Amino acid sequence: MNNPEISLSFRTIATAQCIATTLAAALWITGSFIGGFGGQIAAIGAAESGLLLVVSLIVLILFSPNKKRPVATLATLWSATSFIRFLAALGASTLLYYAAQFGLRPLLFSFLITAVFLLVAETKALAKSLSEMNSPIKE
């Protein structure tokens, strides 16, 4: 039996990542000002979201989603890539904490919000790609 192969759209995943991090940053900035925390807390959250976007795009480029792979291999590699991206983002956030002397709580919470938004957006993009593969071809 031949294993079906699939490739993912780099553009779709990268767009989902950009939208997710932008929404997370906008939510953080809005919440910071509404909650009366000020501009510094808003800037911390925006910097964290930007950092997560950069790390996510670098890992996406290294993953090269346009390459055709067997479906089972693709799912396993994507899970491993997500784990590696999460660790790389935590490491970069730690460097941001020490280099910029940002507060730990705002960094942690903005990291979590952005990570959840990224997870949801990527899951939707991947589910769409996989469902398109499963749908019958129209002639």
Residues 56-90 pLDDT 10s: 999 999 999 899 988 888 888 888 999 999 999 99
| Residue-averaged pLDDT of the chain | 88
CA nearest neighbour of 95 among 42, 138, 48: 48
Residue 90 phi/psi, 5-degree rounding, is -65, -40
pTM of the model: 0.86
Instruction: Centre a 10 Å sphere on the Cβ of residue 112 and count the other Cβ atoms it contains.
Output: 12
First to last CA, the chain: 25
